[in-house]
């Protein structure tokens, strides 16, 4: 078991060492020289989205909630298509002409703000990436603890050391190629493992019968809306009402599409022609994987009810082990090691991209632009690498306590902040010529504050009917519209060279 996982980790280190030889400039480290081919680019987008939520969180959510959260299986793959088509097509074209390295370069250029919006969006991006990354390290540690029988904290340290090492060495070259390998492992692994787990649970008909016996609403497309006499849903797991699913759509399809660790990948594609078919390819690959994983969560709930598996009792998030335990039941013990590697591949493919994003934002958008404008490329790359290491240490500290009761909630919190802060300024910047610098800044600030207040209210005061980030998102939209209309129009020259307007691709 140890040998198999060690070979996997060694392979990642080899990729990092190989990639390090290709890094000569900041553009090489941050964007892989803008030279990623179609499938490397497409799988990188999918792998950046495919996090600890995809296998552990998705199956765990299915275990707890049943079919009403199946909508996630459309919304998350849709985020890959939205990122590539709606955001990426135009950002890639403008970014190649204007030599952007990060989305902050675009914000700074489009909103004619040399420092203000760049600093605000970079700091916000680092903040939400750190929150999101905590969930990834929790997921990696869960798998390593299960595989090796080591403590959660020992697994946390081991995972941080491995991922940090190859990201520091190879930058996006290492992340992209390791993501291609990990993505292919994930696809093949899920296609082989998930059907076997579902069969072990008795097949869909039997699984649905067991779920309906636990709660008839488990086999419905959504949970009933709150009754007037109730202060909230009839059970903690019954949150996926029709109105919540509306917020769920915006949270996942747009919030995740705008996530810093996802959207920055669009600058790295070699050819603008990729943006025609990559959205469909990314969606098609991901939607199959997501559906299979969610149904394994249903199978896990059925298997637990039938006494075939038992969730751990010494952890705070037992349902997130549904996929692992279901796979362990369906396969001999030696195969379970390969299943563990598949889960690691899913989680690490996002973790490494998050770490690189944090390093990039600090090195390029803060150090280079604010602290040392005359810094050489080699210095910026070094600072980015040091920031990657620092982010690993900080995330370790944040993840040191016990993980949340459901991994999905932690991941959704990070995505929610992205929705509230980034989506409105990004969409308005790309497609609305009247959007101004002041509007974008107010939009980001009010979105973050609004999401923070709503999140606090939900956690400590009273449950809300929709995801807390929707309130921040609404404030963000309102702010950019009202403030932009109340301030001077942007210069036409800037709007022209950033290709702002109601089109995706200029003919």
Provide the phi-psi class of 350: left if phi over 0, else alpha when psi is between -120 and 50, else beta: alpha
Find tokens 């993501």 and name the residue.
179
Report CA torsion sign: 301, 307, 312, 313.
Answer: positive
> pLDDT value at position 404?
58
Number of helices (H), then strands (E), in the chain? 21, 0
Report the Cα 181 to chain-centroid distance in Å: 18
Cβ-contact 112, 374 below 8 angstroms: no
Find tokens 């016990």 and name the residue.
402
Task: Give the Cβ contact number of residue 422 at 10 Å.
Answer: 30
Cβ-contact 489, 440 below 8 angstroms: no
> pLDDT value at position 245?
96
- DSSP letters spanning 337-372: HHHHHHHHHHHHHHHHHHHHHHHHIIIIIIIIIII-
Report CA torsion sign: 442, 447, 452, 454.
Answer: positive
Cβ-contact 275, 269 below 8 angstroms: yes
What does DSSP assign to residue 232? S
| Nearest one of 391, 289, 323 to 46, comparing CA atoms | 289
| Nearest one of 259, 272, 251 to 91, comparing CA atoms | 272
> pLDDT value at position 228?
58
Distance, in Å, from the CA atom of 169 to the CA atom of 20, rounded to the nearest integer, reads 5
Cβ-contact 182, 349 below 8 angstroms: yes
Distance, in Å, from the CA atom of 398 to the CA atom of 432, rounded to the nearest integer, reads 39
Q: Would you report the helix, strand and coil content of the chain in percent, each value rounded to 5?
A: 80, 0, 20
Task: Give the Cβ contact number of residue 493 at 10 Å.
Answer: 9
Distance, in Å, from the CA atom of 31 to the CA atom of 12, rounded to the nearest integer, reads 19
Domains and CATH numbers, the chain: 2-98+130-224+235-408 (1.20.1730.10)
| Nearest one of 114, 46, 37, 16 to 290, comparing CA atoms | 46
Distance, in Å, from the CA atom of 505 to the CA atom of 507, rounded to the nearest integer, reads 6
Distance, in Å, from the CA atom of 228 to the CA atom of 336, rounded to the nearest integer, reads 48
pTM: 0.91
Q: Which residues contact 39 (CB under 8 A, 6 or more apart)?
A: 180
- For 23, the 3-state DSSP assignment is coil
Per-residue pLDDT 10s for the chain (507 aa) are 567 777 777 787 787 778 778 888 888 888 989 999 999 999 999 988 886 667 888 999 999 999 999 999 999 999 999 999 999 999 999 999 999 999 999 999 999 998 889 999 999 899 888 888 887 788 778 778 877 788 888 888 888 888 888 778 778 777 888 888 888 888 888 998 999 999 999 999 999 999 999 999 999 999 998 765 566 788 889 999 999 999 999 999 999 999 998 999 999 999 999 999 999 999 999 999 999 999 999 999 999 999 999 998 877 778 988 998 999 899 876 666 777 777 777 777 778 888 889 999 999 999 999 999 999 988 998 999 999 999 989 888 888 876 655 566 777 888 899 999 999 999 999 999 999 999 999 999 999 999 999 999 988 888 899 999 999 999 999 999 999 999 999 999 999 999 999 999 876
Distance, in Å, from the CA atom of 83 to the CA atom of 366, rounded to the nearest integer, reads 25
Distance, in Å, from the CA atom of 287 to the CA atom of 22, rounded to the nearest integer, reads 33
| Nearest one of 429, 416, 418 to 480, comparing CA atoms | 429
- DSSP letters spanning 404-468: PS-HHHHHHHHHHHHHHHHHHHHHHHHH-TT--HHHHHHHHHHHHHHHHHHHHHHHHT---SS-T
Q: Which residues contact 169 (CB under 8 A, 6 or more apart)?
A: 13, 16, 17, 19, 20
> pLDDT value at position 402?
62
| Nearest one of 177, 404, 203 to 299, comparing CA atoms | 203
| Nearest one of 218, 221, 222, 200 to 209, comparing CA atoms | 218
> pLDDT value at position 153?
86
> pLDDT value at position 403?
60
3-state SS, 114-173, equals: CCHHHHHHHHHHHHHHHHHHHHHHHHHHHHHHHHHCCCHHHHHHHHHHHHHHHHHHHHHH
């Amino acid at each position: 078991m140890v040998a198999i996982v060690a070979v996997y980790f060694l392979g990642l280190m080899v990729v990092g060492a190989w990639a390090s030889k290709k890094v000569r400039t900041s553009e090489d480290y941050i964007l892989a020289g803008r030279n990623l081919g179609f499938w490397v680019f497409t799988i990188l987008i999918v792998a950046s989205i495919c996090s600890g939520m995809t296998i552990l969180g998705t199956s765990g959510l299915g275990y707890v909630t049943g079919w009403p959260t199946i909508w996630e299986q459309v919304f998350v793959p849709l985020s890959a298509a939205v990122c590539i088509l709606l955001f990426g097509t135009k950002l890639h074209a403008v970014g190649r002409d204007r030599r952007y390295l990060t989305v902050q370069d675009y914000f700074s250029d489009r909103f004619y703000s040399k420092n203000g919006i760049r600093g605000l969006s970079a700091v916000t991006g680092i903040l939400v990436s750190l929150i999101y990354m905590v969930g990834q390290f929790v997921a990696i540690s869960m798998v390593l603890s299960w595989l090796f029988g080591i403590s959660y904290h020992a697994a946390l340290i081991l995972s941080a050391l491995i991922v940090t090492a190859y990201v520091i060495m190879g930058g996006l070259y290492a992340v992209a190629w390791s993501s291609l390998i990990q993505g292919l492992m994930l696809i093949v692994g899920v296609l082989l493992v998930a059907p076997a787990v579902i069969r072990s649970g008795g097949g869909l008909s039997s699984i649905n019968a067991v779920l309906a016996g636990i709660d008839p609403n488990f086999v419905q497309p959504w949970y009933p809306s709150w009754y007037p006499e109730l202060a909230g849903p009839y059970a903690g797991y019954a949150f996926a009402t029709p109105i919540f699913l509306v917020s769920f759509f915006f949270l996942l399809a747009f919030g995740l599409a705008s996530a810093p660790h996802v959207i920055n990948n669009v600058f790295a594609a070699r050819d603008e022609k990729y943006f025609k078919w990559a959205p469909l390819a990314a969606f098609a690959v991901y939607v199959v994987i997501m559906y299979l994983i969610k149904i394994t969560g249903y199978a896990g709930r059925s298997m637990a009810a039938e006494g075939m598996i038992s969730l751990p009792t010494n952890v705070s998030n037992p349902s997130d082990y549904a996929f692992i335990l279901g796979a362990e039941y369906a396969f001999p013990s030696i195969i379970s090691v390969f299943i563990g590697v598949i889960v690691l591949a899913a989680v690490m493919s996002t973790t490494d991209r998050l770490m690189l994003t944090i390093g990039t934002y600090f090195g390029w958008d803060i150090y280079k632009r604010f602290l040392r404008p005359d810094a050489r490329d080699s210095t910026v790359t070094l600072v980015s690498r040091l920031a990657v290491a620092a982010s690993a240490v900080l995330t370790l500290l944040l993840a040191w306590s016990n993980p949340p009761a459901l991994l999905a909630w932690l991941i959704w919190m990070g995505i929610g902040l992205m929705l509230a802060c980034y989506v409105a300024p990004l969409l308005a910047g790309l497609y609305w010529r009247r959007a101004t610098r002041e509007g974008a800044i107010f939009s980001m600030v009010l979105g973050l504050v609004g999401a923070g207040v709503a999140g606090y209210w939900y956690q400590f005061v009273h449950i809300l009917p929709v995801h807390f980030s929707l309130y921040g998102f609404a404030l963000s939209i309102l702010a950019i519209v009202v403030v932009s209309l109340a301030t001077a129009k942007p210069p036409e020259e800037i709007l022209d060279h950033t290709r702002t307007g109601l089109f995706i691709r200029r003919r």
